[in-house]
Amino acid sequence: MGARRGGARGGAGPAGSHAGRAARAAADPGRGVAARPARPGPARGRVRASALAAAAWRPASRPWRPSARRRPVQAAGAPRPAPQAGTRGRPPVPVSAPPQGLPGGGGFAGLEFAPEPRAADLGASGTWAGAAGPPTPSAHIPVPAQRTPPGKARLDEVMAAAALTSLSTSPLLLGAPAAAFSTEAGVEPWKEALVRPPGSCSSSSSGDWGWDLASDQSSPSTPSPPLPLEAAHFLFGEPAPRKRKSSAQVLFQCLWKRCGKVLSTASGMQRHIRLVHLGRQAEAEQSDGEEDFYYTELDAGVDTLTRGLASLSPASPIASAPPAFPTLELPEPLARPHVWHRDHAYQGCLAPVRLEPPPTTVRACVPALPTKLGANPRKPRGDAKKCRKVYGMDHRDLWCTACRWKKACQRFLD
DNA sequence: TTTGCCGGGTG
DNA sequence: CACCCGGCAAA
Ligand SMILES: [Zn+2]
């Protein structure tokens, strides 16, 4: 029936607002996407950023998936139509433009001012240059081999014993992760995200995809959330995580973002995490158990490991898994690094893909539940905060396209 | 109340 | 197709 969609909810925008998008659309020549000023105020250059982002985002394979390319990408000096008087229930948002919220040279601003050339540049390189671009990581598994001071990777045998002692301590799931977040992500996550220039995504270096907020290079001591939450979730949600490991050999895998390091001893792993990721001085005895969160154990020789690897292979037949949930896909990307790259060219390399082993492992288990739930129509609802929550209603232009369209978020998948 | 997003619209 | 939003259920 619709028809009523004149947009203009009691909201506000009298003038052009009226036909919500209609107006905008008309006034919006080149742009299609981030054209949304999100609020009556004139949106500075901000748009450009998201424009780029949106323009490039493209899930590998997902529901309703918007096709990769949207309209022609923005016109250079396109004056933003601005108005768009909150067609939405933009309630109490008299706030001022976000930009000013930050210090002059502040992160957010950085992007906004991105000079056109830059933008164009990016667009180009981000999109295709990837091909000729950096060989990137081995295009396979996240190779750690990047930093990790080769120096002090030794005394682990020694500490093993000590570490084992503290190993038993149950992880303080509340403490560790929470703390990690509060450190920086506390206030303005979006800012942080933007701070990192889009270019850095494809920063040749070694495998720098996915989230790389302030993780390593910037501040080793301030661990950006690797995936503690997830880890926790699966640790608990899992029906029978560790079944029989008595006979099987057990390995320990680092869950840190793109580390995935596998060690044979828990202590070794703990030390690894403490040193490399937590930035602490490896003193096993002082371990508060936080490390426990950043690694998981694998059943070598058993499905866990096997499967994990399997899904990493280009030919991974995720088909086997129940179609209930969007499994973690990466067959394509892996097969064709180029495409892969393109994916990341979007929105300041937020968090599109996490094709690391850890999550994989998790995934392998989760879907097991829904098998029977096939009848269940509705998905449980993601646990992660989505664009809306993260960026807020103001800054809507920072949301991923999906979110803007009220679709399932693509950037922060569950 | 807010958030996430399905389903269904529009051009 | 891109884009938007009503409206519901979960949080
Ligand atoms: Zn989103």
Residue A300 CA to ligand 1 center (angstroms) comes to 36
Rounded to the nearest angstrom, the distance between the alpha carbon of A403 and the centre of ligand 1 is 4
Kindly give the distance from the C-alpha atom of residue A412 to the centroid of ligand 1, in angstroms, as a whole number. 6
User: What residues have CB less than 8 Å from A250, skipping those under 6 apart?
Assistant: A264, A297, A298, A299, A300
With tokens 């947009």, the residue in question is: A7
Output the pLDDT for position A402.
92
Q: What percent of chain A has pLDDT over 90?
A: 3
A385-401 pLDDT, tens digit each: 889 988 888 888 889 99
Flag residues of chain A having pLDDT under 70.
1-249, 257, 269, 280-289, 291, 297, 299-378
* pLDDT tens, position by position, A252-292: 777 776 777 777 877 876 777 778 777 766 555 555 667 67
* ipTM for the complex shown: 0.96
Nucleotide with C1' nearest the A388 CA: B3
Q: For the whole model, what pTM was predicted?
A: 0.35
| Adjacent-strand bridge partners of A254 | A295
Mark the nucleotides of strand C covered by protein, meaning any atom under 7 Å from a CB.
Answer: 1-7, 9-11
Chain B nucleotides with an atom closer than 7 Å to a protein C-beta = 2-11
Measure, in angstroms, how far nucleotide B8 C1' is from residue A84 CA: 23
**Percent of chain A that is helix, strand, coil (3-state, to 5):** 40, 5, 55
Rounded to whole angstroms, the Cα distance separating A126 from A6 reads: 37
CA of A405 to C1' of C4 (A): 6
Cα of A65 from ligand 1 centre, angstroms: 13
Arithmetic mean of pLDDT over chain A: 43
Q: Which nucleotide is nearest to A404 (CA to C1')?
A: C4
Q: Are strands A295-300 and A249-254 parallel, antiparallel or unpaired?
A: antiparallel
* Distance of C1' in C6 from CA in A346, Å: 29
Query: What DSSP string describes A22-47?
Result: HHHHHH-SS--STT--SSSSPP-THH
Q: What is the DSSP letter of A43?
A: P
